[in-house]
A and B are shown apart, each in its own frame.
Chain A
């Protein structure tokens, strides 16, 4: 397979191929399309609210913002069926909200509160909702790549027609375990879809300074006989169409795919990234905001289609802001975990009080 990188429509923000007509998009209802807008806005407003909390010193550790990349989570995760699963890295807020986790539990987790999705034990990088087929939220670059593989392996083992959407950043393609995972995925026909969210910078190191092949990261899949594609992340229709192809390949042929979705983050690697505007020019960030913002582009698209006007847009956006503000309130009002909570959720058998959880000393404090 030989694919050359599609000419990205940098100037116009308009895709030369109209993916709105792709089968997975052709029958979308107005409500669904507005729902995608709402979800993208919810991510952005949630994160803007979280940034304020961070700047107020109410949050520990890191805060990796997803702002600018919203179309990826919304475009891909909205395609999940009952037996499809997802797992991602530490920039996980967007994915969490799209799979249906509430802003309240997510915001509370950011503040380390007992009402957080991980009871305040995981923090920003570690959101989980297995009941929604969402398996985190992982802090070590590429550490989740074999986990996604294993989730998909289990689906196949159980004869379930599903897949695992496994998200990584552009920096993760240089980790060995990713390549071990690709080899296993292809060798064993595992229904996993690796989605590289290429925001062009692995922390402060540009793609040109980190990848031997500078034009394309997904292409490395060639080495493992895995189908791959590159995706213009600013076009929600294209994201959906190409991701659906990959999901169908997993469902119907039990074959993996590597997708590389071009996107861009406006903030630093994390909010603590003091050099966020030093390894790239402020003009570059501004250019993307002005010309390639996935939410603005989707708004424009829906306006062109005649299903969105300013009043509706304002209504959707206000709802997202209101939800985020309420989540902040909920999080601030919530209690911190108790000191004794440090010792739960370590061993299942101990938590459940089983026989196995009661033999021997599990913890070695005083």
Chain B
């Protein structure tokens, strides 16, 4: 099976969907002539032209709103945010318009819009560029939120997002763009709302999404090597809809859960998962549910410290050992 980067997997997904459906239009800052600030859209403008791949001015509220209006009319805009942190200036458009228009119209309208871009800390760009708003977005019924951790998932989820008839927020990660992984050449889709067991285990469930999945996998490897603890790693892949059963089944099996989340702890995605676990499988638990989140402060610039602010394998291992 070919090995390609996460970046290439996203690029392939966009190219295939542009090819497949003439209503797909890719839009955002620097996506066309510049080939993408992070080169996710590299080559697409040259291949598909001005109509299908469109550079926007720096007007997130304006162009995201334009995408919502165009989606209501049946186009399938794929809007790039250079950083998901910039979504905050377009919040009204994302929450009130993309998220609520179907409900407020009593189901007369749907909004097949994709908003995508990186949402991560860890790149030493300070607090304003390091937000992880998947928890905020998933708090809005009407929006869907996915967070792929691997090239394979990135391609399959991006294609599913573009074909979905509801607005989907795709949370990528600049630290993953260069990661490599196996991606089949043929067509495939990963359904939104289906989690994936990235590593089987029996002693504790590490439940994560996005890059935290890789941190959890690193921790699981060391737990096995150094402590003979078998950790299962559950990759949520999709935050909303959420594959509750896969999460609960894992906890039923291992009886312990450590949630790994690059969100801040207060009302982060892991807070929802923790609530769900205690509500549904409390009697299966042999220990309190633990969380490893980003440390609860704005993202610090200082490079060695920011590395500590995100969840680390060391912190995960400490939590696991504390409940084992």
Contacts and interface: CB of A to CB of B under 8 A. Distances in A.
B210 interface: no
B73 A155 contact: yes
A344 interface: yes
A140 B75 contact: no
Interface in B38-78: 51, 56-57, 59, 61-75
Interface string A134-175: 011111100111111111111101100000100000000000
B302 interface: no
Contact of A146 (B64, B101, B106, B110): B64
Contact of A359 (B57, B96, B105, B193): B193
B67 A126 contact: no
B243 A150 contact: no
A209 B309 CA distance: 47
Interface stretch (B119-127, B158-166, B255-263): B158-166
A164 B79 CA distance: 22
Interface in A243-259: none
Interface residues of B, number: 55
Contact of A356 (B96, B103, B192, B272): B192
Interface string A110-142: 000000111111100010111100011111100
B234 to A, nearest CB: 13
B205 interface: no
Nearest to B59: A180
Interface string A282-321: 0000000000000000000000000000000000000000
B92 A364 contact: no
B194 interface: yes
Contacts of A346: 102-103, 141-142
A355 to B, nearest CB: 7
A354 B240 CA distance: 16
B62 to A, nearest CB: 3
Contacts of B14: none
Contacts of A349: 164-166
Contacts of A150: 65-73
B174 interface: no
Given A136-B101, A151-B73, A184 B63 contact: yes
Contacts of B101: 136
B242 interface: yes
A279 interface: no
A118 B65 contact: no
B97 interface: yes
Contact of A348 (B51, B56, B166): B166
A149 B160 CA distance: 27
B104 A177 contact: no
A155 B66 CA distance: 12
Interface string A339-366: 0000011111101101110011111100
Contacts of A146: 61-66, 68-69, 93
Contacts of A153: 66, 69-70
Task: Indicate the size class of the contact surface on chain A.
Answer: 35 or more
Contacts of B241: 359-362
Interface in B135-171: 141-142, 144, 160, 163-166
A135 B64 contact: no
Nearest to A362: B241
A183 interface: yes
Interface centre among B59, B65, B96, B164 (most CB of A within 10 A): B65
A181 interface: yes
A144 to B, nearest CB: 8
Contacts of A362: 141, 193, 240-241
Nearest to A347: B166
A176 B92 contact: no
Nearest to B109: A130
A356 B66 contact: no
A33 B103 CA distance: 37
B107 interface: yes
A152 B142 CA distance: 24
A341 to B, nearest CB: 9
B297 interface: no
Given A150-B72, A349-B165, A359-B241, A344 B64 contact: no
Contact of B109 (A119, A135, A176, A355): A135
A119 B96 contact: no
Nearest to A359: B193
Given A150-B71, A363-B141, A184 B106 contact: no
Nearest to B54: A188
A121 B62 contact: no
A164 B72 CA distance: 13
B62 A184 contact: yes
Interface string A19-39: 000000000000000000000
Contacts of B73: 150-151, 154-155, 158
B238 interface: yes
B35 interface: no
Given A360-B192, A360-B242, A360-B244, A136 B104 contact: yes
Contacts of B66: 146-147, 149-150, 153, 181, 184
Interface centre among B74, B106, B108 (most CB of A within 10 A): B106
A119 B104 contact: no
Nearest to B240: A362
A357 B160 CA distance: 12
A187 interface: yes
Interface of A: 87, 116-122, 126, 128-131, 135-140, 143-155, 157-158, 164, 176-177, 180-181, 183-184, 187, 344-349, 351-352, 354-356, 359-364
26 contacts: A130-B72, A136-B104, A137-B104, A137-B105, A147-B72, A149-B62, A150-B65, A151-B69, A151-B70, A177-B61, A181-B65, A184-B63, A345-B102, A346-B103, A346-B141, A347-B102, A347-B166, A351-B107, A356-B163, A356-B192, A359-B192, A359-B194, A360-B241, A360-B244, A361-B193, A364-B276
Given A130-B105, A138-B96, 4 more contacts: A126-B105, A146-B69, A147-B66, A150-B67
Which A-B residue pairs are the 10 nearest by beta carbons?
A360-B193, A150-B69, A146-B65, A180-B62, A360-B241, A345-B107, A154-B73, A119-B106, A118-B106, A359-B193
